A and B are shown apart, each in its own frame.
Chain A
Amino acid sequence: MFMCKDVVENIMEYIDNELDLETLKTLEKHTGDCPECMAFVNTYKRMLEITGKLKDKPFVTPEIRNRLKILLESKIKPI
């Protein structure tokens, strides 16, 4: 029998469209009948949308760049 557990353990393949048709149908039948699993799938997808946006977070400040510049320059001073 297809359980919530099977939704959870197949979620990565489900999101990536890698499930075979039969498993896909069974999974979607379960989520259609199980609001807990539906909420699980929806929050899981939403989480990936959010964390994907962290990619654009700027990291290197002008201060960090400047300290790197000073460091590299100090390494190439003539002996």
Chain B
Amino acid sequence: MEIGFIKKLINVIVSNESKSSATDEELVSTYLRTGDSAAFNELISRYADKVYGFALRITRNTSDAEEVFQEVFLILTKKLDTFRGDSKFSSWLYRVTANSAYMFMRSQKKHENNLSLEGYSPYDEEGTLMGKIMYKDWSSRPDLIVFNKEAIKIIDEAINDLPESYRTVFHLRDIEGLSNDEVADVLEISVSAVKSRLHRARLFLRDKLSDYFYDWRK
């Protein structure tokens, strides 16, 4: 890749411009067909936050996330031409990010206990809810309360308390808004595994948030 092109790319990364209304795939195809660096740059400015955010969700540490973030962009400057459109560009990029993050964690010997939440549920053996949900009901709290800075921080930490395989699914599906199929594509797991992990992750988080908002009122 020529130096002038990479220089332009760097300028866009730094300025964080975003101006094109083309889809990601149109931009990739324009770039691959014509070598138009503006198309490539637009992709970068669209995805800087997403790549960093996903890396941070996996590593749970800002300096680790930044290393992964840098690695992903280094890979992109070398390997965008290996993207062939078998999946969406965003899925491909999330997959590059996840793989870079896993590789980084392995190289740092940062292993995470990947607990299973498969048995996690709010009901008893008879299939009845256990009696605290209505008592702790916080659903009618106004936005002003549940979206305050402290609440958002607690919510973010609660998500980070999820075991890694649930956390990545939850992040992509419920924060980034990918479909079940896209999440399955990114993480290279089945759609039914996505649904099952998402289900347990949400039950776990709903409990955590209820405890938090209940304690907080007292």
A and B bound? yes
Binds A, one of B20-28, B84-92, B100-108, B202-210: B202-210
With the chains together, A71 CA to B146 CA distance in Å?
39
Query: How many of chain A's residues have a CB under 8 angstroms from any CB in B?
Result: 44
CB distance from A23 to the nearest CB of B (A): 16
Are A66 and B14 neighbours in the complex by a CB distance under 8 Å?
Answer: yes
Cross-chain contact of A46 among B74, B126, B139 (Cβ < 8 A):
B139
* A59-B49, A76-B3 as given contacts; A50 in contact with B14, CB under 8 Å: no
Quick one: closest A residue to B138, CB to CB? A43
Cross-chain contact of B137 among A6, A11, A39, A64 (Cβ < 8 A):
A39
Are B48 and A40 neighbours in the complex by a CB distance under 8 Å?
Answer: no
Interface of B is mostly: helix
Are B138 and A75 neighbours in the complex by a CB distance under 8 Å?
Answer: no
Are B74 and A75 neighbours in the complex by a CB distance under 8 Å?
Answer: yes
* Chain A residues closer than 8 Å to B14, beta-carbon distance: 65-66, 69
* Chain A residues closer than 8 Å to B3, beta-carbon distance: 76, 78
* Chain B residues closer than 8 Å to A72, beta-carbon distance: 6, 9-10, 13, 73-74, 77
With the chains together, A11 CA to B198 CA distance in Å?
11
CB distance from B40 to the nearest CB of A (A): 13
Quick one: closest B residue to A56, CB to CB? B49
Is the CB of B176 closer than 8 A to any CB of chain A? yes
* Chain A residues closer than 8 Å to B16, beta-carbon distance: 60, 65
Q: Which of B39-65 contact A (CB under 8 A)?
A: 48-49, 52-53, 56
Instruction: Select the residue from B7, B52, B129, B140 with max chain A CB neighbours within 10 A.
Output: B129
CB distance from B11 to the nearest CB of A (A): 8
- Please give the residue numbers on chain B whose beta carbons come within 8 Å of chain A beta carbons, in ascending order: 3, 6-7, 9-10, 13-14, 16, 48-49, 52-53, 56, 66, 69-70, 73-74, 77, 121-123, 126-129, 131, 133-134, 136-140, 146-147, 151-152, 155-156, 159, 170, 174-177, 195, 198-199, 202-203, 205-206, 209-210
